[in-house]
Structure 1
Amino acid sequence: MKGLLANVLIAIGGAFLLLQAQDLLNSKYIINFLNQNLVSLLIALLAINSASLGIVLSKIRELIDEEKGNGDFSKTKNEMLFSIKEQIVLIFLSLILLMLNDSKWGASHPEYKPAMEMAVITCFTYAMLILFDSARSIFVVLSFKK
């Protein structure tokens, strides 16, 4: 739970910095790009992470078999499942945020636009953190020495 909170705060901080950089440069590139591509990116990242986790699980299975089934990786498996669930939640949350942002309600409430943009960018930065965590797990498992 502590790791989840830390990741959320890091994602919010990263989104804030990106939003400030975008405003400083008087650009709308990031938010326009994410409005058009965020859901596709999140689905692609889910596929990449699922494949990566498959590699990690295969290596873990190999390690368990070499140790004659004495390894307990249930916590690792639960964390992997949690990361998949996080990504699915991000996809649905992004869909909701993008629909709200593009709706008549969003147009009639411009005071919420910065918060909506911040939330959309936060979904993206959080997905990048999940991708980083998955990539790191691959290197940890592949560099494991008996």
Structure 2
Amino acid sequence: MNFICAFVLLFGVSIVTGGNETKYCESSEYFMIKHQKSGLVIDGKGEKLDQLKIETATKSMTQLWSLKMIEFGKFIIINRATGRVLDIRYNKGAGSDIIAFPKHCKRNQQWIIDHSTGHIAATYDNLVIEINAKNFVPGSGLVANPKKKGQPNQVFTIEPV
């Protein structure tokens, strides 16, 4: 019998396939989404409930996130403090704000995490999360923009806490 096992350990999600059976197991582990170059993290504590910014890492609940797999390789990313999820505002295209919004699981809340490039990509229009500033200062907002190789304001890592 040929078994294929894939573990996405970094996210606490295991996908085990064997024969005709596939199982999905989700961990309750939380992580921070850290901008690779600056070390700042995505924080859900904005002046408005839906506002997201990058801030200095403190491991506060507003900086902690979890994943829920909605389809193989596609996730919604949930804020621990608010229960809201990463969302491209109004389901629009390039330049739209990335916000925290109540979960509805439509395409503007579905994400693919690419470890090899550091991109957190929407499932449509080749859009990725990008810091809306070139100098990476705390308080900068986030937008969705087309993926560009080597663009440092688009590169994030997942850091388990």
TM bucket normalised to smaller: under 0.3
Q: Larger Cα Rg: Structure 1 or Structure 2?
A: 1
Q: Of the two structures, which has the highest relative contact order with CA contacts closer than 8 Å and spacing of 6 or more?
A: 1
When normalised by structure 1's length, the TM-score is: 0.21
Q: Per residue, is there more helix in 1 or in 2?
A: 1
When normalised by structure 2's length, the TM-score is: 0.20
